[in-house]
Amino acid sequence: GHAGGGGGGGDGPLARALRSSKTAVEGASSAPSPPVSSSEHSSPRPRHNFTVGICAIAKDAESYLIEWIDYHLLAVGFDRIFVYDNSDGEDGEGDGEEGGDLSRWRANTRSHPLYSRADVVHHPGHGFLEKFDAYAQKAAYKDCAKRFGKTEGDDDSRSIEEGRGGGPRMDYLAMIDLDEFVYPVDPALSIHDVLAEYLVPYGYPYHDVPRSDSEH
């Protein structure tokens, strides 16, 4: 199986996968935590001995955040998602990493069985960021990989900080935007099934994973 990235519409693979997941799409900024019909969503059944997460940078993404998270956690089988919110934070509550437009959504979902697996880091700024010695998008991906991913020589004792949900660091991280979707060409396959064919320790550039000719 191969992996593809990009938007979807009509009756394509994305639309079919979203229908099959049977999850309620809730407003991302609603005060109560959105309901999930079954507790089985809280911890996906492992079929492989490695974990896969997403590092994503977002701005003005509130309206479709839940749909995007539902799809990647439920239909594709990612273990964790780390969203870097690039908003200036006018609507946010708090400063620094706790601010930003998605801060209210994050605060309301930390005890949720599904959405607690998706975290938000406020990452304001545009252009070149001297703090990270990189441009905003690359800076977000570098910070995400450093904080939430494993590197060669890591042992299992290095965990994600408790304030970010704790747990083991991800063996593999996909770097995509919130207007992009990753889906296996074969909808019966999870992201773990796809990566098992192309495993390289401590990382595999997404753009090097074979995809169908129609994908971008």
CA distance 55 to 178: 10
Q: What is the pLDDT of residues 177-215, one digit of tens each?
A: 888 888 788 888 899 998 888 776 555 444 444 444 444
pTM score, whole prediction = 0.68
Distances (CA, A) of 74 to 22, 24, 104: 9, 12, 23
Residue 83 pairs with which residues in a beta bridge?
56, 120
Q: pLDDT at position 133, please? A: 54
Q: pLDDT at position 99, please? A: 62
**Does residue 3 have a pLDDT over 90?**
no
Average pLDDT, the chain: 70
Query: Greater confidence, 23 or 174?
Result: 174
61 and 178 in contact (C-beta within 8 Å)?
yes
**Does residue 47 have a pLDDT over 80?**
no
